[in-house]
Amino acid sequence: MGYKGTVGEQMAKILNDYTPEAIKAADKAIKSVASDAADKLQNESPKKTGDYAKGWACETLAKGKFVGIFSKTGQYIVRNKTDWHLTHLLENGHVIRNAKGTYGRTRPNPHIAPVEDWAADEVVSAIKRKI
């Protein structure tokens, strides 16, 4: 490539040449994992009527909101658009009440935490594969 100067200057030039491709690859990997996480949540969510499971979606947030690598890559959020208020109740369980007071708790149905753990591991390996 013909870099001249000190080793530090040469490394800075190499990293500057490499950075745009790495950011594009990281953005594609993050978007892919977020989309896959939304699909996994649709498949693994409780399906009493099916409306809750259908509500999972991946959304793109505006670029440039945070510092670091995230200021250049897109930010993606996986959320339940239709029944967001049920996520905590289904994930952790809740008290069941009647007119006379409480009469128990529902069983927790942890379906978000496993997908979150999977996505955290998968995004790192996906970025490594792309780069």
Task: Please tell me what DSSP assigns to residue 106.
Answer: P
Confidence of residue 64 (pLDDT cuts 50, 70, 90): low
Dist CA 56 CA 50 (whole Å): 11
- Statement: residue 71 has pLDDT above 70: no
- Statement: residue 65 has pLDDT above 60: no
Dist CA 17 CA 10 (whole Å): 11
Query: What pLDDT is stored for residue 5 in this prediction?
Result: 63
Q: What is the pTM of this model?
A: 0.75
Compute the average pLDDT of residues 78-84.
92
Fill in the amino acid letter for 106.
T
Query: What pLDDT is stored for residue 103 in this prediction?
Result: 82
Confidence of residue 68 (pLDDT cuts 50, 70, 90): very low
Query: What pLDDT is stored for residue 75 in this prediction?
Result: 80
Please name the residue ranges forming H helices in the chain. Answer: 7-44, 51-54, 87-92, 112-130
Q: Beta strand pairing status for 101-105 and 95-98?
A: antiparallel
